[in-house]
Amino acid sequence: MTNQEIYDLIACFERSSLQSMKLSRQDFSIELSRAAAAAAPVAAPVAAATAPAAAAAPAAAPAPADDGSTITAPLVGTFYAAPAPDQPPFVSVGDRVKKGQTVCLIEAMKMMSEVPAPCDCVIEAVLKADGELAAFGEALLRIKPC
């Protein structure tokens, strides 16, 4: 299979409602699955839901993350805070950014995807380390909308 055929296959899988898919040929095999990305976010709220019964304080911390005060990963990949290792990060804590401004990069399959700011905001925290793996929907930056 060519790279373009693989990209087209992945794009079709992303648009479909399939949870997993496996394709095998004589010298090539690819397996795509949504189960791993979907299972991680579901497991965390269940654990958090049992914790408030013991203590109310831990439940208060995750709540702000659900009200749109974070920028989340649009895909699974490696988080990069800067355009290159020898360059400064796109944003730092305390920076004001405009809607659409690039705040970080996610690398998936050797392709870099820019992650834009969803609104005019102030960066409150960078939640991922440079070079760390980010799951789909995982919070990357905590923001305060302006």
pLDDT band at 49 (very low <50, low <70, confident <90, very high): very low
Percent of the chain with pLDDT over 70: 76
Domain spans, the chain: 3-33, 68-145
Distance from first CA to last CA of the chain, Å, rounded?
Answer: 47
Domain covering 68-145, topology: OB fold (Dihydrolipoamide Acetyltransferase, E2P) (2.40.50)
User: What pLDDT does residue 12 have?
Assistant: 77
CA–CA gap between residue 74 and residue 137 (Å, rounded)? 6
Condensed to tens digits (0 to 9), the pLDDT of residues 103-138 reads 999 999 889 999 999 999 999 999 999 999 999 999
